[in-house]
Structure 1
Amino acid sequence: MDLMKNLRDVPSPRPEAYDRARTALQTAMAEPAATVVRPKRRLSWPKVSVAAVGAAAVAAAVVIGTSGGSVPAGPAGAAPAPAPQAVEVPLVKLASAVQAAGTQPGDASLIVNEKFGLDNKPDLNYTLYTDKGDQFTGDSAKSLVDAVAKGDAQPATPYDRNVMAAARLAANGDVDKARIAMITASGNPLGVGLSPAEADKAWAAAQAETAELFRKMGKPFPGPKPRPTGKDLENLINNHLLSNIKHALFANAADAEVRAGVLKLYATIPDMIVGKTSVDGQAALSLTAPPAILDGSTDVLIINAGNGLPIREEITSAETSKHYVVNYKSSRVTIADVAAGKI
């Protein structure tokens, strides 16, 4: 979070650089942490480990979060065994209701997020995610309208396309398969579903890419790390899952199919606590990730109990006890209306 203010005016990286750097920096993680870092064009605040990475690296890539659990099986000795069946019945039922209701009319999803950091001052971000996969962003309604009117779109990156496809697969098909697709949306340095030899090769390649990235940044590479195993591996795998499903939700929440898939995938994370609450008179559900998979930090996502739309996310860092809040508003719109200033 301390880097957020410095990153506000940093232009977004080219899509191919973003995906390459994001995958490489995954392997720079030493231990799970709950630092919240996200370039302006992104919506969610995933947990990342940037222990040896300076602001230049963060500006060049969005890295992953921390979570815990297991994944579908691969060959013997590969990444952990099958994910359990969805254990949070409320989320599965809600996902079915969301999908049955369908997506509201329009050709784009608009999401407005209002972030409150340590100074408690609001930081507004507007993002329009079109059904074709393009994105328009702004820090006010006017700047978003101007961007849409000028056709100043940011094409969807491969990562964007992958997380959306994985969410849709979860909504309509095999949740286990969708889980793997979501975990590996930005690459597979952890070797999910691979044989031990293939997993080691994937890890080594990612380590080499990370070393090259550090070299280009002019920073010393802390040295290759052994591929994580056991519970550490499970935590990192589910870390990727949590980060990626939140990205899909926060970018395209108003799409019912994406939202339903995200809810189903959320339900596969072991020890996820689903509680009942209310926000401004709205019946809501709180989704609390297990602190153990966030290295002791907390992440609570509050969604509307009737339609699954995100309302608020609250994050508290275990290391610093710093608290951050993001409020969300999502709706279906038409690109033409936004270009005309109708938000």
Structure 2
Amino acid sequence: MDEMDLMKKLRDVPSPGPEAYDSARAALRTAMAEPAATVVRPKRWFSWPKASVAAVGAAAVAAAVVMVSTSGGSVPAAPPAAAPQAVEGPLVKLASAVHAAGTQPGDASLIINTKFGLNGKPDLYYTIYADDGRQFTGDSTKTLAEAVAKGDAQPPTPYDGKVMAAARLAATGDVDQARIAMITAANNALGVGLSPAEAEKAWADAQAETAEMFRKYGKPVPAPKPRPTGKELENLINNHLWSNTQHALFANAADAEVRAGVLKLYATIPDMTVGKTTVDGQAALTITVPPAVLGGGADVLTINAGNGLPIREEITSADSGKRYVVNYKASRVTLADVAAGKI
């Protein structure tokens, strides 16, 4: 079973509290810090608010199993604090244009996902990320409107706040510092920007946390492994950067500042490929992540060449070869209009 299969099996169980959600996400991110992991997918692929505490814990344990395969030698010096500043390539130029244009009126971002799984059937999903950090979800305009009208929101989470802040910093300030903040938004198990001793402790603490999760759910605890080194470590760092940046985009794409920062951070990933295409007659850019960053998998994001809004993502699993496609539509809305059914 790959990560996507696991996520689909967890869709219809009850909702966890915010504390359980954050704990599970942190454990999942820690567990993904290894070379064999496929794409660390943004949560917008999966309705986290519908997952039970037990199911979330099971997901964390299942993902943590990959931790045992981590290889490497002795703990090296801490990885570089940041990559070189992004050059004035197409993503940086587009980011400047997006930021200059500003955010459209409204008090929330609406993202409509249409996911096409292995059966080719569309699965529609609506997510609203309000400017105050609350999130509303639905599988139709009706259920979304009802959720907003009732105030049935997932409260702001620390993780969401961190990825949004990192994106905004990239748009308006120091991209190097923003890069560190985005990489470490869930945790800093890889020791980015730390001294060698601090990095070693961060890795040990993360493994201890994962071991505790195994014990909590009655699973055999894997033996500790040394921190990854060299190119392996660099690829993992960029994997975390891509994953967390994707999360910021898919949650809040209609916010121009967040979107501009995301584009600048994409541009700092070495060997990222940017191509030109058209989608439904509109000019678009394709952003292709280096396979090594994804553990051999493939991930191609297509964005509007004029405004940077996401159009489509195509993901291929490294382990199973399964391919998934998601189409995106993003816009600014007001919560009052959505509650009234004006979507």
Both structures adopt the same fold (TM-score exceeding 0.5): yes
TM-superposed deviation, 1:91: 0.3
CA deviation profile, 1:277-319 (whole Å, cap 9, x unmatched): 0111110000000112212211000000000000000011232
Q: Are 2:266 and 1:266 aligned?
A: yes
Q: Match for 1:31 among 25, 29, 35?
A: 35
Query: Which residue does 2:128 correspond to in 1?
Result: 128
Of 209-218 and 269-278, deviating more is 209-218
Counterpart for residue 93 of structure 1? 93
Is 1:252 matched up with 2:255?
no
What residue in structure 2 maps to residue 176 of structure 1? 176
Q: Does structure 1 conserve the Cα–Cα contact (< 8 Å) formed by 2:61 and 2:213?
A: no
Query: After superposition, where does 1:18-57 map in structure 2 within 5 Å?
Result: 18-29=21-32, 30-34=34-38, 42-44=43-45, 56-57=57-58
Residues of 2 paired with 1:171 and 1:300: CA distance? 23
Q: What SS is found at the alignment partner of 1:136?
A: strand
- 1:191/1:199 contact within 8 Å kept: yes
- Structure 1 length as normaliser, TM-score? 0.88
Name 2:323's counterpart in structure 1.
Answer: 323
2:138 is matched with 138
Tell me the equivalent position of 2:191.
Answer: 191
Question: Within 2, Cα distance between the matches of 1:59 and 1:6?
Answer: 14
Match of 1:13, SS state, is coil
In structure 1, how many angstroms separate the alpha carbons of the residues matched to 2:62 and 2:155? 16
Check whether the contact 1:315–1:325 (CA below 8 A) recurs between aligned residues.
Answer: yes
In the superposition, the TM-score normalised over structure 2's length comes to 0.88
1:14 correspondence with 2:17: yes
Residue of structure 2 in register with 1:107 after alignment? 107
The whole-number CA distance in structure 1 between the counterparts of 2:136 and 2:284 is 29
Change (3 A) 1:180 1:62: farther
- Matched to 1:89, the amino acid is G
- State the SS of the aligned residue for 1:43: helix
**Change in CA separation of 1:82 and 1:339 when aligned onto 2, cut-off 3 Å:** closer
Query: What is the root-mean-square deviation in Å for CA atoms of aligned residues?
Result: 2.2
Aligned residues: 321
Cα 1:284/1:159, change in 2 over 3 Å: same
Identity of aligned residues (%): 76
Shift of 1:140: 1.0
In the TM superposition, what is the alpha-carbon distance from 1:320 to its structure 2 partner?
Answer: 1.8
Residue in 2 that maps onto 1:208: 208
Q: Is contact 2:39–2:295 with CA below 8 Å preserved after alignment?
A: no
Alpha-carbon distance change, 44 to 111 in structure 1, aligned in 2, over 3 angstroms = same
Tell me if structure 1 keeps the 8 A contact 2:78–2:195: yes
Shift >4 Å, 4+ stretches: 35-38, 59-63
Kindly report which structure 2 residues correspond to 1:42-81, keeping only aligned pairs within 5 A, or say none: 42-44=43-45, 56-58=57-59, 77-80=77-80
Secondary structure at the residue paired with 2:213? Answer: helix
Which residue identity is paired with 1:188? N
- The structure where helix makes up a greater share of residues is 2
* Pair 1:260–1:80, CA change in 2 (3 A): same
- In the alignment, structure 2 segments of 5+ residues that lack a partner are 47-54, 65-75
Q: 1:62 to 1:166 in 2, by over 3 A?
A: farther
Partner of 2:69: none
Q: Distance in 2 between matches of 1:220 and 1:91?
A: 45
Counterpart of 2:210, as a letter, is T
Partners of 2:301 and 2:206 in 1: CA distance: 31
Separation in structure 2 between the aligned mates of residue 91 and residue 35 of structure 1, nearest angstrom: 22
Letter in structure 1 aligned against 2:37: A
Whether the aligned pair in 2 keeps the contact of 1:22 and 1:61 (CA below 8 Å) is: no
Q: Report the Cα distance in structure 1 between the residues aligned to 2:319 and 2:60, rounded to whole angstroms.
A: 23
Gaps of 5+ in 1: 46-53, 64-75
Instruction: Go from structure 1 to structure 2 and tell me whether the alpha carbon gap of 1:324 and 1:152 turns closer, same or farther (over 3 Å shift).
Output: same
Residues 7 and 59 in structure 1, CA contact (< 8 A), matched pair in contact too: no
Superposed CA offset, 1:112-170 (max 9, x none): 00111111111111011111110000111111000001011111100000000000000
More displaced 10-residue stretch of structure 1: 13-22 or 285-294: 13-22
Task: Label 1:61 to 1:181 Cα distance change in 2 as closer, same or farther (>3 A).
Answer: farther
1:17 to partner: Cα distance: 2.4
